[in-house]
Amino acid sequence: MEHPANSSYLHYCRITGISILLLLISQPLWAHVVVGELEKMSKTDAAFVYLKLGYTHILPLGFDHILFILSLFLLSPKLKPVLWQATAFTIAHSVTLGLAMYHVITPPAKIVEPVIALSIMYVALENIISPKLKTSRIGVVFLFGLVHGMGFAGALGHLGLPQNSYLTCLVMFNLGVELGQLTVILTAYFLLARWFGDKPYYRKYIVIPLSVIIAAIACYWTIQRLFF
């Protein structure tokens, strides 16, 4: 008889292995083969896999989304303003992620990916130009969130979703994305804002230099995604 502890360990290894395979697989055909394996799992286990996939899509794999969240954070390094912006971003990308995964909209990746890069560059440049957070940024973040949601949908579309728990796994993937974003925000808060946010040199020596770096990276991505 198999020991319960060994059974649980093998079960965990199976879930982890499938998660890693989904992350590594680039060909949709093979990705959907792995999704077929997920359909043999319980809905709870499949949901846990997609929660992890959503989280890892931000940390460590979503460098562009990380830079976007950091750009939102830098200008006003207090939790309340950045959480308001993150909430607008979350609502927006949840809408387009859901619409795209249910094939209501079919956004072309050739347009979505460069616009994501442009959104990062825009927010970073605004940090450089504007000395304080404007209320209009909430609207801007919402609009960019709609585009980022299409980007999330593109990644999730390649992975596929198990048909027997389609909505559950979609929601859990989105929740994983939110947890990843929250991790970025809290990490930035405890590494930067807590120690330097109220210093007179914060804008000159932290906001502007970091925003210049982020804008330069985003500019490179924009060119790369448009022409290469």
The helix (H) or strand (E) run that includes residue 116 is helix 109-129
Instruction: Give me the number of domains the chain comprises.
Output: 1
Share of the chain above pLDDT 70, in %: 83
Sequence-distant (6+) residues with CB within 8 A of 210 are 70, 74
Domain hosting residue 137, numbered range: 4-227
Encoding tokens for residue 30?
């093979």
Mean pLDDT of 98-106: 94
Q: pLDDT by residue (tens digit) across 133-189?
A: 888 899 999 999 999 999 999 888 877 788 888 999 899 999 999 999 999 999 999
Statement: residue 6 has pLDDT above 50: yes
Q: Which residue has the tokens 């020991």?
A: 3
